[in-house]
């Protein structure tokens, strides 16, 4: 056994558990851990400008690549409270991240020491474990337990709080004797799989609903294989987008009351059986549950047993890891198929295709100021199938999900349940760090962009290139639209006359100037024909200069985006597509004779 400081043992454990990157902001109470990182020299560190941003960078890092666990570091007191939003966002979407905070000495706890605060008490509701370690000898075991918890069952975040004197305590530790704990995952059994397959065999209009649990399980290929074997349409949730490529013949979009496609909702309403895999029946997908549930049966497969029946009781529920469930379902499907017990669903698939080719929203507008629909059309044209999109919340997120295309798992990175403003930029940086070879395009409204805008300097300092599409209407657009129910437009306008930069023309902040002041590049676009060239140039510049490039798209001030209260009650505020020219980047070109 070797004698070393507890923090030196902690860093060795991080490395053995697979950690190669960390994000954070140093401070007095966490400096011992930073000294251990410096001495070890094999874990790269990205210095954020805000600790909340560091937590979102850790999220983006985890979400971008299977097996990753993002690590966020901060000092005592406010650094810990800054992490809470990141912990909430991570736990809401089942994302493992490890947050490590410094703390006042053990003897000073509960004595109102400077920045000494009970961070675990605050963090417990949004973590799988939040613990202050009181003895140096406990550090290895606490870290070992943390990694097991983050990976087991429903994944999620952990916070470890380290008093400064505990960090400095010397302990006996042998890294060669340390092994990560085994990870337990529940698995669907043969009886359960055959029950599900029997329900599919008895149905006429089945749907596979692909949730984010499939991505967490790194099992997208298995879902596609099952869909092809059964010849059954797939609808995705917001978190499951990318499990099946948008241009796959069995991919039928995303259903919901906001982030949804018209044909997806119509197909969901025509279904008689929905097999939900790794999903949670989010309210923005289901809308009115009476409409959502009427006329169809539901199977719910989730790794967390308390999710079954949480929103509504399924007709059949199974606790299982999504990947292991798909293994069992594939084996069952092959048994059923060998006995000739799988129906031919080709007529149902063609009905779904007819809706996909006719029920489309218009994207092609020549208006100035720009309509946002034209921006998303341009993104489809400018960015390739390998593009990884990152966004959080707002009308931009909702409408982008209605009009963009995603072709691979982990290429739609989104804070699905929490939706914190400011999340997009740091999450995009985490994604770039995790996978530098995949082009990243972030999408923000002007308010989301301003929340943690200082992280552009982080990206410039550490040469983290990506393209950030900024749709600027100088409004809190989603809140303005929801205020229509109250007949008001109150405290949601961000516009003002910028006395220093009159060329912003009343839109307020000079985003081009701010981006350049923080060491990045920016392009402002006002004309629709300039969108694609600007986006292509942004991509070129970002790779050449190794910094983010912002494409500011100056929008019309007010756009209302399609949404509703149920799958059968969606309000469309714009004229719908009536010809292929109205939606030139649709997956299936519209037949004018069949448009609906």
Q: Give DSSP secondary structure letters for 496-552.
A: B--SS-GGGTTB-S-HHHHHHHTT-EEEEE-SGGGHHHHHHHHHHHHHHHTS-EEEE
> Contact, 194 vs 228, CB < 8 A?
no
CATH code (residue 460):
3.40.50.970
Residue 449 region by backbone torsions, left for phi larger than 0, else alpha for psi between -120 and 50, else beta: alpha
Q: What's the Cα-to-Cα distance from 383 to each of 42, 389, 410, 442, 538, rounded to whole Å?
A: 34, 10, 16, 12, 11
DSSP bridge partners of 376: none
Measured distance CA(346)–CA(123) in Å, rounded: 50
**Helix-then-strand count for the chain, H and E:** 24, 22
Whole-model pTM: value is: 0.95
On whether both 103 and 223 belong to a single domain, the answer is no
Kindly state the DSSP code that residue 384 receives in the 8-state scheme.
-
Give the model's pLDDT for residue 595. 54
What tokens does 103 get? Answer: 């703390």
Q: What is the pLDDT of residue 514?
A: 97
585 located within any domain: no
Instruction: Tell whether 578 is covered by a domain.
Output: no
User: Is 575 inside any structural domain?
Assistant: no
Spatial CA neighbour of 396 closest among 366, 426, 373, 412: 373
Using DSSP, state whether 175 is helix, strand or coil: helix
**Residue 146 shares a structural domain with residue 196:** no
Sheet of 549-554: strands edge to edge?
412-414, 388-391, 440-445, 467-472, 549-554, 521-525
- Residue ranges of alpha helices (H) inside 180-315 are 190-201, 212-216, 220-230, 262-270, 283-286, 289-293
Q: CA 596 to CA 594: how far, in whole Å? A: 6
576 lies in a domain?
no
Residue 590 lies in a domain: no
In this structure, the answer to whether residues 383 and 420 fall within a common structural domain is yes
Judgement on whether residues 129 and 248 belong to the same structural domain of the protein: no
Range of the domain at 138: 2-177
What does the pLDDT read at residue 594? 56
Long-range contacts: 588-596, Cβ < 8 Å, 24+? 588/353, 588/356, 588/357, 589/357, 590/357, 590/358, 590/360, 591/357, 591/358, 594/354, 594/357, 594/358, 595/358, 595/359, 595/360, 596/355, 596/358, 596/359
Same domain, 162 and 216: no
Same domain, 517 and 486: yes
Q: How far is the C-alpha of 104 from the C-alpha of 111, rounded, in Å?
A: 10
529 and 444 in a common domain: yes
- Look at residue 593 in the predicted model and tell me its pLDDT: 59
Pair type for strands 412-414 and 440-445: unpaired
| Alpha-carbon distance values, 339 to 331, 334, 585 (Å) | 13, 9, 42
Number of domains in the chain: 3
What is the 8-class DSSP label of residue 371?
A: P
* Cis peptide, bond prior to residue 477, ω within 30 of zero: no
142 shares a domain with 7 = yes
Instruction: Tally Cβ neighbours within 10 Å of residue 424.
Output: 33
What pLDDT score was predicted for residue 422?
94
Note whether 395 and 445 are within 8 A (CB). Answer: yes
Domain annotation covers residue 571: no
Give the Cα separation of 374 and 28 in Å (integer).
49
pLDDT attached to residue 417:
85
Active site residues: 25, 51, 421, 476, 479
pLDDT in tens, the chain (596 residues): 799 999 999 999 999 999 999 999 999 999 999 999 999 999 999 999 999 999 999 999 999 999 999 999 999 999 999 999 999 999 999 999 999 999 999 888 887 777 778 999 999 999 999 999 999 999 999 999 999 999 999 999 999 999 999 999 999 999 999 999 999 999 999 999 999 999 999 999 999 999 999 999 999 999 999 999 999 999 999 999 999 999 999 999 999 999 999 999 999 999 999 999 999 999 999 999 999 999 999 999 999 999 999 999 999 999 999 999 999 999 999 999 999 999 999 999 999 999 999 999 999 999 999 999 999 999 999 999 999 999 998 889 999 999 999 999 999 999 988 889 999 999 999 999 999 999 999 999 999 999 999 999 999 999 999 999 999 999 988 889 989 999 999 999 999 999 999 999 999 999 999 999 999 999 999 999 999 999 999 999 999 999 999 999 999 999 999 999 999 999 999 999 999 999 999 988 887 655 55
The verdict on 353 and 237 lying in the same domain is: yes
| pLDDT computed for residue 589 by the predictor | 84
Place of tokens 């004229």: 575
Closest CA to 69 of 55, 80, 79: 55
Q: Indicate whether 145 and 230 sit together in one domain.
A: no
- State whether 153 and 197 are in the same domain: no
In a domain, 242, yes or no: yes
Last residue of a domain, one of 338, 359, 380: 359
Q: Is residue 586 in a domain? A: no
Does 352 lie in the same domain as 377? no
CATH of the domain at 239: 3.40.50.1220
Last residue of some domain: 359, 391, 417? Answer: 359
Question: Residue written as tokens 């990205």?
Answer: 46
Q: Is 226 helix (H, G, I), strand (E, B) or coil?
A: helix
Q: What is the pLDDT of residue 591?
A: 75
The H or E element spanning position 171 is: strand 170-173
Alpha carbons 22 and 84: distance in angstroms, whole number: 17
* CA 137 to chain CA centroid, nearest Å: 37
Q: Which tokens belong to 258?
A: 């906001």
DSSP-assigned states of every residue in 342-359: S---HHHHHHHHHHHTTS
């Amino acid at each position: 056994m070797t004698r070393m400081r507890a923090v030196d043992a902690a860093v060795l454990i991080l490395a053995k558990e697979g950690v190669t990157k960390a994000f954070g902001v140093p401070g007095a109470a966490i400096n011992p851990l930073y000294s251990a990182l410096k001495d070890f020299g094999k874990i790269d560190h990205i210095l954020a400008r805000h600790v909340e941003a560091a937590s979102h960078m850790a999220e983006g890092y985890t979400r971008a690549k299977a097996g990753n666990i993002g690590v966020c570091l901060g000092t005592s007191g406010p650094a810990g409270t800054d992490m809470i939003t990141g912990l909430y966002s991570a736990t809401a979407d089942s994302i493992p991240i490890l947050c490590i905070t410094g703390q006042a000495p053990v003897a000073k706890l509960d004595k109102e020491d400077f920045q000494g605060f009970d961070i675990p008490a605050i963090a417990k509701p949004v973590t799988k474990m939040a613990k202050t370690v009181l003895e140096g000898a406990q550090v290895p075991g606490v870290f070992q337990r943390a990694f097991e918890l983050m990976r087991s069952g429903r994944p999620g975040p952990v916070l470890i709080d380290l008093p400064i004197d505990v960090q400095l305590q010397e302990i006996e530790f042998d890294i060669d004797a340390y092994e990560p704990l085994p990870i337990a995952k529940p698995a669907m059994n043969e009886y359960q799989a055959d029950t599900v397959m029997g329900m599919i065999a008895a149905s006429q209009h089945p749907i596979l609903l692909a949730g984010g649990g499939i991505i967490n399980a790194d099992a997208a290929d298995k879902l596609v294989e099952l869909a092809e074997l059964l010849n059954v349409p797939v609808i995705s949730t917001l978190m499951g987008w990318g499990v099946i490529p948008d241009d796959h013949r069995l991919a039928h979009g995303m259903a919901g009351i906001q982030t949804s496609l018209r044909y997806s909702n119509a197909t969901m309403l025509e279904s008689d059986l929905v097999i939900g895999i790794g999903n949670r029946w989010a309210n923005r997908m289901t809308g009115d549950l009476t409409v959502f549930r009427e006329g169809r049966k539901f199977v719910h497969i989730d790794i967390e047993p308390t999710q079954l029946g949480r929103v509504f009781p399924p007709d059949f529920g199974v606790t299982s890891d999504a990947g292991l469930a798909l293994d069992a379902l594939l084996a069952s499907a092959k048994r059923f198929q060998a006995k000739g017990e799988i129906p031919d669903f080709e007529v149902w698939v063609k009905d779904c295709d007819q809706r996909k080719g006719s029920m489309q929203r218009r994207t092609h507008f020549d208006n100035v100021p720009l309509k946002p629909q034209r921006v998303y059309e341009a993104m489809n044209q400018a960015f390739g199938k390998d593009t990884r999109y990152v966004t959080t919340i707002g009308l931009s997120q909702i409408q982008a999900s209605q009009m963009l295309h995603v072709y691979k798992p982990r290429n739609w990175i989104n804070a699905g349940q929490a939706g914190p403003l400011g999340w997009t930029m740091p999450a995009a940086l985490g994604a770039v760090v995790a996978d530098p070879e995949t082009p990243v395009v972030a999408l923000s409204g002007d308010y989301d962009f301003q929340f943690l805008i200082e992280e552009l300097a982080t990206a410039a300092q550490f040469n983290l290139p990506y393209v950030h599409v900024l749709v600027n209407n100088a409004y809190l657009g989603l809140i303005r639209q929801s205020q229509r129910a109250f007949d008001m437009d109150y405290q949601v306008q961000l516009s003002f006359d910028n006395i220093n930069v009159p060329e912003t023309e009343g839109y307020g902040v000079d985003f081009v100037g701010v981006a350049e002041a923080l060491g990045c590049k920016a392009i402002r676009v006002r004309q629709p024909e300039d969108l694609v060239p600007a986006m292509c140039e942004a991509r070129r510049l970002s790779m050449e200069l190794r910094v983010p490039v912002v494409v500011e798209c100056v929008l019309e001030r007010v756009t209302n985006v399609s949404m509703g209260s149920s799958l059968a009650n969606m309000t469309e505020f714009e004229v719908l597509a009536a010809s292929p020219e109205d939606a030139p980047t649709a997956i299936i070109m519209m037949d004018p004779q069949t448009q609906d």
